[in-house]
A and B are shown apart, each in its own frame.
Chain A
Amino acid sequence: MTKDLETEIDPVTASVIQGALQNIAIEMGYKLMRMSYSSIIRESEDFGTALTDHEGNQLAESVQSTPLQSGPIPGYVQNVIDVFAKRGDRFKPGDVIMHNDPYGGASHGPDIALIVPVFHEDELVGFAGTTAHHLDVGALSPGSCGIVDALDVYAEGLQFKAIKVVDGGVRNEAVWQILRDNVRAPALVVGDLDAQVAACEIGAERFASLIARYDVNTIRAASRALMDYSERLMRQAISDVPDGVYKAVTCIDGFLDDPDRRDLPISVTITIDGDRMVVDLTGTADQVDDRPINMPLIGTVDIAIWLTVRSVLLDSDVYGEIPQNSGLTRPIEIVAPRGCLANPIFPAPVIARFTPGNQLADTVMKALAEAVPEQVSAGIGNLKVIAFSGLREETHWVHMEIFEGSYGGRFTKDGMDAVDTLYANTRNNPIEDIESHLPMRVTRYELREDTCGAGRTRGGVGAVRAFQFLEPGGFSVEGEGHKFPPWGFQGGAEGQPAELHLLHAAGETEALPSKVPYRQAAAGDTFLAVGPSAGGYGHAFDRDPAAVLEDVLDGIVSTESAARDYGVAIKNGAVDPDGTRALRGG
């Protein structure tokens, strides 16, 4: 095992092997997405695939999927390796391992990983892994999001800690049966898990034949070269940032209807020292012992940090595609005091960590903004996940939908409108698919007019989306950003917080907080989600009046806001230069 350390690899072979590894991860993703059943995987693309080496270092990941799924796979694999070592268990050809322990690398319980060890001759050479968000994992209420009242991880559903669901090629039927008996919508959940197994097996097979085509040492040398390469890119990017200490604090809503569990700070201090970066979360609120907004350090917090640093310092639009692997994260050290929101102590619940984690990502960007102002956006609008469900005879239906946010203004461009933000990048479900298959109707889906944060470049516009129940059912919500608006940058205005309203069939309207544990809905009730609009960048009086006019013509900014916020007078569909000069004070 040591002799391969000496293997040299030429740049041509390294380049060819990198392409082949990437190709395998993409194929796994392609197959998983097409075979899976639940819309959260196949339409929202809330899944990930990756290959790792025998120690769980990531070598390649799929380009589809969402970063919060592919990114954590090495953490899952490394924990499975540790658990096996402690238990004295061994990996065998034909094994398939299921794992979703949020205190063991998993992002949270519903993101179940399936992992297949890859062998060359008799030697363990790597792993093919997939993760996917499952519709239901047997938590206290239907669906696997909006479980905002879980008291501890046991209340969050089934926990699989490095369980062989296929053992040396033999399916462990008892485990599958327990699973089937303990989740709502078992057909969908098991169908999706089967699709994951198939995708892993294809990946493992391709990985093994790639090794056979070359040899183990060449693949190992190429893997090392690949990780060193990504590490070098990241170190170089960090070196380009001026040395210094950069600090930012933002707040999450927490539970706005609960004085003891709201307005929780997230604190990020970034120290740049040459080609190293330390991200220190000291100052972040203490964990909430009995509500699941705590964030697993490995699987959520690390991904939020890496994703943001990478998107800002090695923006793929500027730097092109960069191989995503464990080398990229080596120069970044994370410090998070044990017992804070970002490093909870078992068995504190974590299932609803999605939106706090994205707020952490936003806070990392805010800290970096001071250091590299041209590479960031102003504050983003955060997201919401909502589970809709119902019971038809004895069978549950569950539908999960992620509600979009928006990006803040950027150095030279306006913010992106109505998109998933930072570590999430899922897709909505077509209205024509939802209504053809579920007792729901989408009654509105449009931009939220006249709300974006004003600035030299304006914040992105949020979306308004309404769902109506056609039969009695229920829903649960986990979201953020109802209280604290997305931050403006360099004189740009703050954006607009999100809102949520339940329009009762009977007529009255009820405002809801950003987190709602499961509750019932009547036929005819409409759920109106008003998405956040993001922060502006630079002073709005510096915005080109022609750009303001464009927004007014498009109904994105009203004539009144144009005058008040931008100092631009619009008259008869044109900029009034005199009026504008007057408004802008000369």
Chain B
Amino acid sequence: MRLIGVDVGGTFTDIVFHDTADGGTHIHKVPTTPDNPARGVIDGVVALCDRFEVARDSIDHVYHGTTTATNAILEHDGALCGMITNEGYRDIIHIGRHQRPQHFSIQQEIPWQDRPLIKRRFRKTVPHRVAPPSGDVLVTLDEEAVRRAALELKAAGVRSIAICFLFAFLDPRHEERARAIVLEAYPEAFVTTSSSVSPQFREFERFTTSAINAFVGPKVRDYVTALEGALGASGLKADLHIMASNGGVATASMVSEKPVVTLLSGPAAGVLGGAWTGGLSGRRSLITFDVGGTSADIGIVVEGRFAEATPRDTWIAGFPLMVPMIDIHTIGAGGGSIAHRDKGGAFKVGPRSAGARPGPAAYGHGGVEPTVTDANVVLGRLDPENFLGGEMTLDVAAAERAVDSLAAQLGMDRLATAEGIVTIVNANMANAIRSRTVQKGLDPRDFALVAFGGGGPLQAADVAAQLSIPEVIVPAHPGITSAMGLLTTDLQYDAIRTAFMVSGQMEHAQIEGRFADMESALLAQYAEDGVDAARVSFKRTADIRYVGQGYELRIAVSDGPFAAAAEEALFAEFGRRHEAEYGRSFPGSPMEIVNVRVTGIGETQKIAAQGEPAGGSLDAALVATRPSIFRVAAGLETLETAFYRRDALPLEQDIDGPAIILQQDSTTIVRPGDSFRLDRAGNILIRIAV
């Protein structure tokens, strides 16, 4: 089977080809075309096929990570949307949780008020109300009012309509009926129901998630349709699959209906790529560390499983989002992060970034503020002549000037300032990782840090040392790890139902029924997508809390029909997880299931391990020996440092730091006291001296 992965980034579109029959892999990079990203995708795929003489019609699947939905929401450039909701509750998405995003600000903006996804004039209310616990109808849906609302919205030019009813998670039929009426009156409308997007309680968050789906929907649908058409027109017969935030891929038609599942498409592929890389070296507990120009994305993989974000911690562009997602923590710290002395005299790095233009001072595009990249240049950690494999020459003098200007403000010398920039940004990154590990009861010493993106391998060793992480893994191609990740996914669909039920008063048959319903719905979806039932497996989980708590933990449900033994095991596991996550459990307190979930995995063919690197020798790899600055114990020292070419390193040989390893898409730093080796999987493994 022949696979292609295409990841659209801010600057480059990366393409990876893999043939599962012979293990052959090819890589290609083209500039991203922001005005019409599909063009860059097609150009890149075609160029790769031509360059490596791959017949276009022999490709079976194209896996694609897209930022179409993400950009639409970040740039607030989506469809004109309307909402149909219950009479009496017109402003749920405007009032929100009545909390201001910032405590200490008069001038702040509230995203859902200042940049509404659906303006009030387009929020129509209709008589209808159901009540918990079983969805009893208090007020029957006024179908005529729904029709009227649809026609009014149509007349106003609204293209996309969200149907959001209170308690729709108890019974989706009312929203579905309203959807049918809307489509009757306005067949071209893009219609979203809250129960199909996220059937779980908390109306502000669910309605907002639905509004986001409505907002980005037409754009994503148009993009996917255009891309499918263009692939066909270019002679490709491959199926198009799109990366979703949950770590799986979804079919083009599924994504056209529920584009909200793709909002973290790009970073999710990175986590998968990092996990795959670590797996090649036999590591299954990993912290993925993807550092770009402006931000760093952090993901956690425990024993091969991705940590999933709790729905109450997921935000995009300031809006809450309740769809299953890999837990990816993004902080504003990257190579372009600007170091400065703030008003109070403190030494700070980021979150402001020099971006792609002007970029770091060393890029010579007119940047004058010192960035993390400039600090690395001043410290002699980046080879000015061999940056990006020689594609760009770094302006050392400009980097020094930028760092000097800050040094003068701080009353420090140049080298101490440059080293300080790196230390502070690394501390920020380490704090971010700490918040996802130590704070959740995970011990970083049990993990390896997989460093990728252009900047990850530069910072990783120091960040790992701050957290006592014993090992850093640098993949063969740090710059295209996300595109590789696309070729490691399965077709993953999630289903969820809110089902409040307290321990000891559990109706097992009812719970089992909900699981079974979700599984048969997912099976139908897989059948529609042409996936054989034999290749589909299910994972059942439940969101549980102590009765009265407001936050749930997701716990795996044991296989087989849900009965007393499964309940007991479930709640016992909850107690253990609560203890691990928060430091305490409350034995004897009643517990409550809040949601039940099923994740379907439709297995697909994936990229295989790459061949063993040829392996060279230390002499062949050594480019130069030059002085570089490192923090040793409490002070700074200048040490003779070896610069190696990665592609000539010897295989399975331990080499002592300090060292700097050069390759086209990244630079790896090995600190004094640490050591590294190139392993048979093609990864560099750095052993961190703790």
Contact = CB atoms under 8 A, between A and B. Distances in A.
Is the interface on chain A under 10, 10 to 19, 20 to 34, or 35 or more residues? 35 or more
B100 A420 contact: yes
Contacts of A324: 104
Interface string B329-359: 0000000000000111111100000000000
A83 interface: no
A446 B104 contact: no
A584 B424 CA distance: 57
B406 to A, nearest CB: 11
Interface stretch (B30-38, B452-460, B542-550): B542-550
Main secondary structure of the interface of B (DSSP, over half): loop
A553 B204 CA distance: 23
B427 interface: yes
A556 B120 contact: yes
Contacts of B346: 11, 14-15, 18, 229
Contact of A431 (B166, B348, B428): B166
Given A15-B346, A15-B424, A37-B549, A315 B106 contact: yes
A315 to B, nearest CB: 5
B505 interface: no
B548 A432 contact: no
Interface in B585-617: 586, 589
Interface stretch (B58-66, B107-115, B251-259, B618-626): B107-115
Contact of B98 (A15, A322, A404): A404
Given A37-B549, A316-B102, A447-B95, A554 B107 contact: no
Contact of A413 (B100, B107, B500): B107
Main secondary structure of the interface of A (DSSP, over half): helix
B121 interface: yes
Contacts of B110: 416, 419
B104 A311 contact: yes
B676 interface: no
B680 interface: no
Contacts of B98: 402, 404, 418-420, 426-428, 463
Interface string B631-660: 000000000000000000000000000000
Interface stretch (A19-27, A87-95, A257-265): A19-27
Interface in B164-201: 166-167, 169, 201
Nearest to A235: B344
Given A11-B412, A34-B549, A232 B439 contact: no
A313 to B, nearest CB: 10
Interface string B493-518: 00000001000000000000000000
A480 B423 CA distance: 50
Interface in B443-495: none
A39 B550 contact: yes
Given A11-B347, A30-B439, A432-B202, A444 B100 contact: no
A233 B343 contact: yes
Interface in A4-23: 10-12, 14-16, 18-20, 23
Contacts of B94: 417-418, 447
A404 B438 CA distance: 36
A43 interface: yes
Interface in B89-141: 89-92, 94-95, 97-100, 102-110, 113-114, 119-121, 131-133
A570 to B, nearest CB: 13
Contact of A15 (B99, B167, B347, B547): B347
B584 interface: yes
Contact of B95 (A26, A417, A436): A417
Contact of A318 (B107, B204, B416, B431): B107
B549 A445 contact: no
A242 interface: no
B202 A430 contact: yes
Contacts of A311: 103-106
A436 B133 contact: yes
B347 A375 contact: no
Contacts of A23: 431, 434-435
A450 B547 CA distance: 41
Contacts of A377: 106
Given A191-B589, A198-B582, A310 B104 contact: yes
A316 B105 contact: yes
A320 to B, nearest CB: 8
A418 B98 CA distance: 6
A35 B121 contact: no
Contacts of A20: 427, 431
B88 interface: yes
A307 interface: yes
Nearest to B168: A432
A10 B419 CA distance: 12
Nearest to A229: B344
B24 interface: no
B583 interface: yes
Is the interface on chain B under 10, 10 to 19, 20 to 34, or 35 or more residues? 35 or more
B353 to A, nearest CB: 14
A446 B91 contact: yes
A359 to B, nearest CB: 16
A421 B12 CA distance: 45
B582 A34 contact: yes
Nearest to B426: A16
Contacts of A425: 99-100, 103
B133 A12 contact: no
Contacts of B121: 553-555
Contacts of A314: 104
Contacts of B423: 12, 16
B40 to A, nearest CB: 35
B131 A435 contact: yes
Contacts of A444: 88-89
A554 B119 contact: yes
Interface string A335-372: 00000000000000000000000000000010000000
Nearest to A306: B104
A407 interface: yes
Interface string A154-189: 000000000000000000000000000000000110
A432 B345 contact: no
A36 interface: yes
Given A11-B410, A425-B103, A463-B91, A37 B344 contact: no
Given A11-B420, A417-B95, A67 B103 contact: yes
A398 B274 CA distance: 48
B561 to A, nearest CB: 26
B400 interface: no
Given A31-B583, A37-B546, A420 B113 contact: no
Interface string A28-61: 0011011111110011010000000000000000
A509 interface: no
Interface string A209-235: 000000000000000000001101100
B550 A446 contact: no
5 tightest Cβ-Cβ pairs between the two chains A and B: A42-B550, A37-B548, A554-B120, A11-B347, A427-B97
18 contacts: A15-B424, A18-B346, A20-B427, A26-B435, A31-B439, A35-B582, A37-B547, A307-B104, A310-B104, A315-B107, A365-B106, A420-B100, A427-B98, A432-B132, A433-B201, A463-B95, A553-B121, A554-B120
Interface of B: 88-92, 94-95, 97-100, 102-110, 113-114, 119-121, 131-133, 166-167, 169, 201-204, 342-348, 410, 412, 416, 419-420, 423-424, 427-428, 431, 434-435, 438-439, 500, 546-551, 578, 581-584, 586, 589
Interface of A: 10-12, 14-16, 18-20, 23, 26-27, 30-31, 33-39, 42-43, 45, 63, 66-67, 187-188, 191, 194-195, 198, 201-202, 229-230, 232-233, 236, 307, 310-312, 314-320, 322, 324, 365, 375-377, 402, 404, 407, 410, 413, 416-420, 425-428, 430-433, 435-436, 441, 443-447, 463, 553-556
Given A18-B346, A428-B98, 5 more contacts: A198-B584, A419-B98, A427-B99, A433-B202, A447-B94
